[in-house]
Structure 1
Amino acid sequence: MPLNLIAEVEAWATANDASRSEAIRHLVELGLKVKTEAKPVSRPGRRLRAQELATKTIEKIIDPTAPPEERTQRRRQLTKGPPEFRDDRVDLPKAKGK
């Protein structure tokens, strides 16, 4: 265990008139009683990196001689995907009423 965690366990043991092993046992029991839902780990850095890579790749695909409005439209079509697949995408929020 890290030294700072050992110090916290020792402080808890002293405050509760217990030995270190009794404190660890009790704290583990308390921790096991707590019911929390596991949350997926959010990694915004990965999301941003994937977005950057996708943007760079899309820029290579899109015709550089196309007008800016058309390039924006093409980029949007590539990132949103075909309309027939949009309902199946799990990374997009579902529209209300569906």
Structure 2
Amino acid sequence: MKKSISVNKKSRGRPKKQGGVDPVSAVRLPAGLTEKVDAWGEDRELNRSEAIRRLVELGLKVETPARPAVSKPGRRLRAQELATKTIEKIIDPAAPPEEHAQRRRRLTKGPTEFREARVDQPKVKAK
């Protein structure tokens, strides 16, 4: 009787996990930053993956205050002009001028409930 030929079959499907159990997150770093991460890791006897992991954990622990968005003064004025023109189109033309000014001011500044929550503007003292 002939011997059967043994065939080395590869298993189908997704390969088994090689390393750890955590999912891989790829990050592109500039060469200079990679060198700094590697140097930081070497000082602590860590490989690059562990150094990045620890640096991210350190960065997440630091609390930084929210900064207002830095903008050019011209942009702010232009945005106000555009908002005013758009609001003028929406406001009832039969309303008196005082009403127009009040509505425009309320729409550009926002409701009083939300003014305190805005991080892009300095805090205003309560009246």
TM-score when normalising by structure 1: 0.50
Q: Which has the larger radius of gyration?
A: 2
Q: Which protein is richer in helix relative to its size?
A: 1
- RCO comparison, higher one (Cα < 8 Å, 6+): 2
